[in-house]
A and B are shown apart, each in its own frame.
Chain A
Amino acid sequence: MSEYMIIDGIKAEINGEKNILELARKVGIEIPAFCYDPELSIYGACRMCMFEDERGRLEASCSTPPRAGMVIKTNTAKLRKYRKMILELLLANHCRDCTTCHMSGKCRLQEFAYKFNIEGVRFPNNACQLSPDHSSYCILRDPGKCILCGKCVRMCNEIQSVGAIDYAFRGSKMKIATAFDGDIANSPCVGCGQCAAVCPTGAITIRDDADLVWKALGNPEVEVSVQVAPAVRVGLGTEFGFEEGTNVMGKLVTALKEMGFDKVYDTNIGADLTIMEESNELIHRIKKGGKLPMFTSCCPAWIRFAEDKYPDLLDNISTCKSPMQMLAATVKATYKGEKKHVHVAIMPCSAKKDEAKRAKFNGDVDYVLSAQEVVRMIREHGIHFKYLEESLPDVPFKEYTGASVIFGASGGVMEAALRTAVETITGQKLGNVEFSEVRGMQGVKEAEYAVGDLNVKVAVVSGLKNATEICNKVRSGECDYQFIEIMSCPGGCVNGGGQPFVDAFKRSDMDYKGMRASGLYKTDANMSARKSHENSAISALYDNFFGEVGGHKAHELLHTHYEPKNK
């Protein structure tokens, strides 16, 4: 027999919901909350989500499990009064420079202040005087905007197991800090930006480099080329009224051209190059007894993480540069123009900003723009994105395969590498190119494939907590994978820290990661060439420029090495 409780007079059937807040949302009642996120542990600190029971007692709905027969109200005179007080208290301690804040229009505090009709704040405010932390290339921290909801701390510790930030000090002096309250750049932060993705205010945002790019675009002495990562094309459409996961690459190319980029290239070429080199490296390691399992190397936050926490596993990481760096190195090395050449990369990622600054990469990528920044630039330029004609990227870096476009989803690199590796090892064409076992949004996926006389065991991991678990197993010899794909952000780059901000309730309401991933898989399915080695532009590149796959020139431009982080 079904069990029910009554919420605001509505009969709500209890179906294993963990808390009243979730159950209320199922019956269409939105209880306000700042610190609640279904992906994170319950914190119960904002006290906005309280409800009143029949005896007039108040409890937090985020931490109260529904019980049969309960009768509660979520919006009474008492609750309204206290919610307004909580908001007034938060606003009194919040730097309210909303007009110059990146989160304006998306800020939960701003939204609630408006919804609850907060007409004035009776307490003095010094929040704007707190000094921000701009030490990181990836994220900016502004303690004056922080409402101490603790989502960033829980994300960094529970989902990412990075542990760069935590609570420090007590009472009204409490703040989010790194160990010893130092700069975030000198902390174990890997720049994944997932903290910014869950921050309800502008307390943690992605660094904005748009002004630097506008400057280059406005300089007639400079040729500006740009590459666009696979996940971006399915991430930013919603900002312009498209359904989540719609591939808007064609319109994006047109927009970038309108904004003044001289050449628009597709990072997918870099991804196809990566597969050529990486599958070759994998086969080499398997056949010649190299270090196994081999880890992928596309994700810069994972690389930072490994350099800091798993220095003993660095030889297990593929020496391949990421698609962004491979394409940038190729673009820069093959540039024949007279003008100074600036290369920009549009990424779903905040950590890519840090990757581009690595000394080993010689500044091949001059600026990295996150998808968020590009959305703002398109708006600033006054482009009606939705109504743009579609256009194609520029030669010679436009032709890509289905294998490369799926890089943006967790499992995509693995699948792309398998398509090429299997055909290379067996010498036979694959009947079905889809490796569905490695698809999906689960944090850990495993599969085993018989490839010729080899048995290839693989794992696909997203989220650094999951990575920690698998790395520990590799370290202790508890697993026997040959190839492991690791992406820092849960679900892969489709959910990267640089993607447009997704509201907390939307994050729990819809599978936006899965929708973006299926946008990429759909594009892949419609391609005629779905394997990197079938990319004729790539063949031409090797024939005319690199020579052999894994050869000398390829090594020089397309490979790198890793160093343990200085402790």
Chain B
Amino acid sequence: MIEGMVIAGIATGANDGYIYVRAEYPKAVARLTLAIEQATELGLLGDNILGTNFSFKMHINRGAGAFVCGEGSALTASIEGKRGMPRTKPPRTVEHGLFDKPTVLNNVETYANVSTIINKGSEWFKKIGTENSTGTKTFALTGNIQNAGLIEVPMGTTLREVIFDIGGGVRDGGEFKAVQIGGPSGGCLTEEHFDLPLDFDSLSKVGAIIGSGGLVVMDQKTCMVEVARFFMDFTQKESCGKCVPCREGTKRMLEILNRIVDGKGEDGDIELLKELGEAISKTALCGLGKTAAGPVLSTIKYFENEYKAHIYDKKCPAGACQKLKTITIDPELCKGCSKCARNCPVNAIKGEIKKPFVIDQKLCIKCGACLSNCPFKAIKEM
């Protein structure tokens, strides 16, 4: 990466390079610092590199962990000491970037590829991957997967190869449900996409993105509404708050998702989520907002029935949403000891001693206190 940045410096006439890295990644910061020190000692960085009259200095800027600072203009603002907030474009960062100077701004992976491409030639590089997505791509494979970790595969590798050949399939013998691709604002892919090549064009056709290269594998026990809610909670907190659709729209989407997983979903919620999602995607100022609704829209697309089950039947098909669980006492197994009733914080359990007890579902808050206290395993959660 450092070599790639130096080459970019030579190509554009820049003499300073900045690495923007989260302060919460101390190991990365330590390694980068060491690498820069070593490169400087070897005369590969600093003044008059390798005896030429080209000088290049590298700076590490530690960000305070704002997701939106991955957006170019927010990133440059943050390095300048300003609020990490995207601005309107044009001008783009290649015209007015860091300290108002033309700036070459790229991801780590892009710079890391530069020296290999120069050494081995572009023809060699183009042989890897697909026609329009050349080279390799790193993914962070995680979730309910046997072999989690960072992987690098040629562009166009199928999801099946990644999940089963490399990842070793779903963890603990579970059944595959979906994979979330592209980070917190990426979309979900399902079984029907197993043979989809992971490249820019193919993914864009199914409404997904490569994005940050995150691949989160989910099994049948994962609730897709909860997944959407989780990511919306993240993007809402990470929104800079500048533009109306992202600031207010994601807040309202989260509000709706919260009430759905709490069993308070209403008729029309799915439509309202879609309406909000579309408006935010089309009108938001930056990439964060434009993609914020991705997880919600794609889970609605592929798992609308799960949403409907939450809203109309007040059930979570994956059995993951605590507030939608039904806790019942099996009258066959209940000995009527009253321990559950005594442990219930809301007095939802009633009955006569030595006769089966009953849970009043209207009062039950699904806390599970009865479950853990029953000596006869008579209480079931569904």
Contact = CB atoms under 8 A, between A and B. Distances in A.
Contact of B252 (A64, A123, A148): A123
A262 B142 CA distance: 81
A60 B285 CA distance: 9
B251 A82 contact: no
Given A43-B88, A89-B245, A166-B83, A171 B239 contact: yes
Contacts of B283: 47, 50, 58, 82, 86
Interface string B232-249: 000011111111110111
Given A92-B248, A93-B248, A122-B272, A82 B241 contact: no
A171 B244 contact: no
A230 interface: no
A89 B241 contact: no
A44 B285 contact: yes
A50 B245 CA distance: 12
A85 B242 CA distance: 16
A147 B85 CA distance: 17
B240 A174 contact: yes
A86 B279 contact: yes
Contacts of B131: none
A124 B254 CA distance: 13
Contact of A170 (B90, B237, B255, B276): B237
B88 A63 contact: yes
B87 interface: yes
Contact of A171 (B89, B236, B275, B284): B236
Given A63-B90, A171-B241, A92 B285 contact: no
A81 interface: yes
Interface in A488-522: none
Contacts of A58: 282-283
A162 interface: no
A147 B244 CA distance: 8
A45 B242 contact: yes
Contacts of A85: 245, 249, 275-276, 279
Interface in A21-66: 42-47, 50, 58, 60, 62-65
A89 B83 contact: no
B166 interface: no
Nearest to A166: B83
B291 interface: no
A78 B252 contact: no
A172 B279 contact: no
Interface string A136-161: 00000000000110100000000000
A116 interface: no
Contacts of A545: none
A259 interface: no
Nearest to A65: B90
A50 B66 CA distance: 27
A167 interface: yes
Interface string A166-193: 1101111110000000000000000000
B144 interface: no
Nearest to A169: B241
Given A47-B283, A50-B283, A78-B282, A172 B241 contact: yes
B250 interface: yes
B283 to A, nearest CB: 4
A82 B245 CA distance: 9
Residue of A81, A85, A167, A174 contacting most chain B CB atoms (<10 Å): A85
A50 B284 CA distance: 10
B255 A124 contact: yes
A171 B238 contact: yes
B250 A47 contact: no
Residue of A89, A123, A172 contacting most chain B CB atoms (<10 Å): A172
Contacts of B89: 63
A90 interface: yes
Contact of B85 (A50, A89, A124, A167): A167
A46 B284 CA distance: 9
Nearest to B289: A47
Interface in B13-55: none
A89 B88 contact: no
A82 B248 contact: no
Contacts of B243: 44-47
Contacts of A78: 282
A250 B282 CA distance: 55
Contacts of A122: 272
A89 B236 contact: no
A171 B90 contact: no
A58 B236 CA distance: 23
Contacts of A60: 88, 285
Nearest to B256: A123
B252 A92 contact: yes
Nearest to B86: A44
Contacts of A50: 283
Nearest to B67: A170
Given A50-B283, A63-B88, A174 B276 contact: no
Interface in B240-292: 240-245, 247-252, 255, 272, 275-276, 279, 282-285
A64 B66 CA distance: 27
Contacts of A63: 88-90
A45 B66 contact: no
Contact of A62 (B88, B236, B249, B282): B88
Contact of B240 (A42, A46, A92, A170): A170
Contacts of A148: 241-242, 244, 247
B249 to A, nearest CB: 6
A43 B89 CA distance: 10
Contact of B284 (A47, A62, A90, A169): A47
A471 B249 CA distance: 45
Contact of B249 (A45, A65, A89, A124): A89
B285 A45 contact: yes
Nearest to A90: B244
Contacts of A171: 236-241, 247, 250-251
Contacts of B242: 43, 45, 148, 150, 167, 174
Contacts of A82: 245, 279, 282-283
Nearest to B237: A171
Contacts of B240: 170-171, 174
B231 to A, nearest CB: 14
A167 B241 contact: yes
Contacts of A64: 90
Contacts of B244: 45-47, 86, 89-90, 147-148
A85 B277 CA distance: 11
A124 B272 CA distance: 14
Nearest to B83: A167
Nearest to B276: A85
A170 B241 contact: yes
A438 to B, nearest CB: 34
A93 B242 CA distance: 14
Interface string B159-170: 000000000000
A44 B88 contact: yes
Given A167-B83, A174-B241, A174-B242, 10 more contacts: A47-B243, A60-B88, A86-B244, A92-B252, A167-B85, A170-B66, A170-B241, A171-B247, A172-B241, A174-B240
Interface of B: 66, 68, 83, 85, 87-90, 236-245, 247-252, 255, 272, 275-276, 279, 282-285
Q: Which 3 A-B pairs have the closest CB atoms?
A: A174-B241, A44-B88, A63-B88
18 contacts: A42-B88, A44-B87, A47-B245, A47-B284, A47-B285, A58-B283, A64-B90, A89-B245, A148-B247, A170-B68, A170-B239, A171-B236, A171-B238, A171-B239, A171-B251, A172-B236, A174-B240, A174-B247
